[in-house]
Amino acid sequence: MIAAIKHNSRNYKIDLTKPLDISIPLQDGEDGVNAWYLEPPKIFPHKQDGFVGKVSEGAPVNFNDIWFNPHSHVTHTECLGHITEAFHSVNKKMKQFFFLAEVITVAPEQEGEDFVISEKQIKYALGNKKREAVVIRTLPNLKDKRSRKYSDTNPPYLLEAAADYLVKKGVQHLLIDLPSVDKERDTGALLSHKAFWNVKGKPREKATITEFIYVPNKVVDGTYFLDLQVAPIENDASPSRPILYKILD
């Protein structure tokens, strides 16, 4: 099914039958992605008054309880409520879900004991392009990103100047294949989160950060339409399913 889209006075076509899913699903146990020193998520049959919510154990339906943290166990989208005293719900802040996006690939550079994504790298990858969303794939891009255990590994992160540059470029939605845009242990500085949401000035309440994506190698760098859907949960962050659509010539 070919859909015609008019965006900023320009016409585009996308094939809705060929979505490119860049999310990592939530799954029970040790096999999924994990960060921030939490135990694995749990999906288990609900038990109450002798009832066990499992068809194979005699129940009429499967009826599971789920325990997880969106920041630790799954692709998630967060709003500025992630770092503010005031409560902000990503479910209420997001009113649009379809954006023109640029996929870029970056090899984090070593800086001391860290590997970082710099403003220079973002500038080079984006050039003169102006996009509502930027999707950052980091190298090396191995499939184990879908199941990696990140706690105490000091993963790569985005430098504050790079986040500032994305704001200057008008990027509203930042997606990255890391557990955070900030350093794992930074004593709570959260420089890139704060810069992207401009918490020291007029906060960017509609801006979002999506972490723990996985962009397969078959997805080439370039311009796509992004469908960024979040689970309707009133929280600073919610599990999400970003989908890319290739723009047809």
Domain regions of the chain by residue span: 2-24+74-246
pTM above 0.95, yes or no: yes
Q: Which residues pair with 2 in a beta bridge?
A: 15
pLDDT, position 37: 98
pLDDT in tens, 178-210: 999 999 999 999 999 999 999 999 999 999 999
Asked if 196 and 169 count as a contact pair (C-beta separation under 8 A), the reply is: no
Contact 221, 101 (CB under 8 A): no
Q: Please state the CATH superfamily assignment of the domain spanning residues 2-24+74-246 in this structure.
A: Putative cyclase (3.50.30.50)
Cis amide prior to 140 (ω within 30 degrees)? yes
Q: What confidence tens digit (pLDDT) does each residue in 64-120 have?
A: 999 999 999 999 999 999 999 999 999 999 999 999 999 999 999 999 999 999 999
Q: What would the mean pLDDT of 233-244 be, rounded to a whole number?
A: 98
Residue 122 pLDDT greater than 80, yes or no = yes
End-to-end CA distance of the chain: 15
